[in-house]
Amino acid sequence: MPYEVTANRRRPKTFDELAGQEFVAATLKNSLDNGQIANAYLFSGPRGCGKTSAARILARALRCEKGPTSNPCEKNDEAICPQCQEIFNGNSMDVLEIDGASNTGVNDVRQIKEEILFPPGTGRYKIYIIDEVHMLSNNAFNALLKTIEEPPPNVVFIFATTELQKVPATIRSRCQQFNFRLVPTEKIAALLLDVCVEMGIHAEEEALFWIARESTGSCRDAYTLFDQVISFSEGNIRIDLIREKLGIIGLEKLNELAEACAAGDFSLAFGITDELLASGAVIDTLVTNLAGYFHNLLLIKAGISRETILGDNVSGFSKKVLDKYDAVRLEHAGELLFELYRNLRYSISPRFELETLISKLCWLDKWISPAELGSSVEGVRNLLNSHASANTMNTAPANIAGNTGNSGNDGNAPDGEGENLSFSEEFRRRHMGSSDNIAHNDEIDQGVKNVLDVFEGTIIEENIEENDE
């Protein structure tokens, strides 16, 4: 038997085999059993989650000699009907699969319009499955619109798309819509376990979960990665072998590196990074793994402990690092890492950028978020405001900040040497003069200016008072 990739070999053949799409499957089965057949169906959802498979099952359900039925003939049925057999073989003349991506023009749709005037060669329905339908041109959509509004009675359209928002509302409103979902990690892992049993392969549960998580909800991606793992596993799928062959960095190493950063130990952190790179880790992978690591810490802070989400047992994550950082710092670390990942391919020196990032992680606990800085500034401002109003309680209305015309003060630099003044200078020197303490952000700069304005108002008023006496 020729080699067939697992994804194709394992294509679901019944509605019940569509993992994670229970709602779609139940609704479709129901309407088939009640004889409610639509002119057009629209399947939307992420790639590799069962849209094309469902379209083919629906085609069989509609054309099966027993049907329309939610239970068309199965592949190995002794008494399989010719209609189902043809669809399994992929050579039915009345089920046409069209790739919207390569047949995008109005002429392609015109051809369909002419064809559908002819009744099906055999069986009940002629079925058009148009994949990636969002790729059709505007003219093609318009041409199609008329057809799905008043199709000949025995034509059914099944559209599939990964980008629902690109399908015009006029088309959408004429279709029965079904939203396919990302398949949960547990379900993908269970599918993979099935394959292992079927193939007589031994696999560690952790390894299957790793593959399932990596494929982020796409069954096709999971099967593809699974095939790659099989190719080097020699019948025994192990997580440590996957790590070694695919250059994945284990949780222990990530803990070690993050602990060095949390302790602010630059030289140890650089040392571990160097060791990882020397042992063959790729910078991209290291950055993605670190990003995933800090993201997981953030999830743990939020109270999430499920291993299927974190990818490891909660107890495996360093308590030292968790204790050191709060959620705001962890979120920032994630941001820095994701940003670096996006920029890496443009970088002239990825290693240099990685080391800069490690250095930033080493003083992560000293980082202050713009929101935190904003609220401190607001606090100072309120304090000064209340101070200012307390001072002006007994002064004449003419003594307003800036109204210094008759006081002999030029209004810029107050000449008194009071306590407030030195604080003002101190404030300026600390927060506006030196750039290393403060995040550069116009709003913050403005906030600090506001504080100083209020502050100088107070000083000027106090000086006026003194001069007046």
The distance from CA 66 to its chain's CA centroid, rounded to whole angstroms, is: 43
- Among Zn ion, Mg ion, ligand ADP, none, partner that 81 touches (CB below 5 to 8 angstroms by kind): Zn ion
Among 49, 81, 276, 354, binds Zn ion (CB under 5 A): 81
424 near Mg ion, rule: CB under 5 A: no
Task: Please give the helix or strand (H or E) that residue 458 lies within, else none.
Answer: helix 442-468
120 near ligand ADP, rule: CB under 6 A: no
Give least dist CB 132 to Zn ion, A: 28
Q: Do residues 127 and 93 make contact, with C-beta atoms less than 8 angstroms apart?
A: no
- Among ligand ADP, Mg ion, Zn ion, none, partner that 209 touches (CB below 5 to 8 angstroms by kind): none
Tell me the torsion sign for CA atoms 391, 397, 403, 406: negative
Strand arrangement of the beta sheet that strand 126-131 belongs to:
95-99, 126-131, 155-161, 40-44, 176-179
Neighbours of 273 (CB within 10 A): 22
- Among Zn ion, Mg ion, ligand ADP, none, partner that 73 touches (CB below 5 to 8 angstroms by kind): Zn ion
DSSP character at residue 183: P
Among 1, 2, 3, 8, binds ligand ADP (CB under 6 A): 8
Q: Do residues 327 and 362 make contact, with C-beta atoms less than 8 angstroms apart?
A: no
- Among Zn ion, Mg ion, ligand ADP, none, partner that 7 touches (CB below 5 to 8 angstroms by kind): ligand ADP
Could you give the angle at the alpha carbon of 18 between the alpha carbons of 14 and 22, nearest 5°?
110
167 near Zn ion, rule: CB under 5 A: no
Among 220, 324, 332, 381, binds ligand ADP (CB under 6 A): 220
95 near Zn ion, rule: CB under 5 A: no
- Among ligand ADP, Mg ion, Zn ion, none, partner that 384 touches (CB below 5 to 8 angstroms by kind): none
218 near Mg ion, rule: CB under 5 A: no
52 near Mg ion, rule: CB under 5 A: yes
CB nearer to ligand ADP: pick between 160 and 401: 160
Paired with 130 in beta bridges are 98, 159
51 near ligand ADP, rule: CB under 6 A: yes
- Among ligand ADP, Mg ion, Zn ion, none, partner that 295 touches (CB below 5 to 8 angstroms by kind): none
What are the CA-CA distances from residue 184 to residues 18, 189, 207, 415, 419 (Å)?
A: 12, 9, 16, 70, 64
Using CA atoms, how far apart are residues 38 and 276, in angstroms rounded to an integer?
Answer: 58
CB nearer to ligand ADP: pick between 61 and 261: 61
| The one segment of 57-65, 99-107, 135-143, 270-278 that binds Zn ion by CB under 5 A | 57-65
Task: Please give the helix or strand (H or E) that residue 236 lies within, else none.
Answer: strand 236-237
Q: Do residues 174 and 40 make contact, with C-beta atoms less than 8 angstroms apart?
A: yes
The distance from CA 260 to its chain's CA centroid, rounded to whole angstroms, is: 29
Among 28, 32, 40, 49, binds ligand ADP (CB under 6 A): 49
Structure token digits, residue 306: 């499920």
Task: Tell me which residues touch ligand ADP (CB under 6 A).
Answer: 7-8, 10-12, 18-21, 47-53, 160, 183, 191, 219-220, 223
